[in-house]
């Protein structure tokens, strides 16, 4: 008899999470609830605007040698 893998589907955004370990799945769900986008195309506070290409921290835009850290 095959075992059923535990899964959770987020009611807010529809993401399906599954894991063979139920405790790990609960932890994954708790983390997802903190960063859930709530709907497709929306961004949480951790995501930047796709049109924003300047570094969020201008002091760290370049390394100690003056070379850009981020690739554009």
Burial class of residue 53 (count of CB atoms within 10 Å of its CB; 0-12, 13-18, 19+): exposed
Band of pLDDT at residue 41, cut at 50, 70 and 90 = low
Domain range for residue 2? 1-40
Is 22 part of any domain? yes
- Looking at the structure of the chain, the number of domains it has is 1
Band of pLDDT at residue 30, cut at 50, 70 and 90 = very high
Band of pLDDT at residue 14, cut at 50, 70 and 90 = confident
The residues, ordered by sequence, that sit 6+ positions from 25 with a Cβ below 8 Å of its Cβ are: 6, 7, 8, 17, 18, 19
Q: Are 53 and 68 in contact (CB under 8 A)?
A: no
Is 51 part of any domain? no
Residue with the two structure tokens 């708790």: 30
Is 47 part of any domain? no
């Amino acid at each position: 008899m095959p075992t059923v893998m535990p899964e959770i589907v987020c009611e807010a955004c529809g993401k399906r999470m599954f894991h063979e370990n139920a405790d790990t799945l609960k932890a994954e769900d708790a983390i997802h609830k903190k960063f859930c986008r709530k709907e497709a195309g929306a961004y949480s506070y951790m995501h930047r605007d796709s049109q924003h290409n300047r570094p969020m921290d201008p002091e760290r835009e370049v390394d100690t040698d003056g070379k850009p850290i981020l690739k554009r």
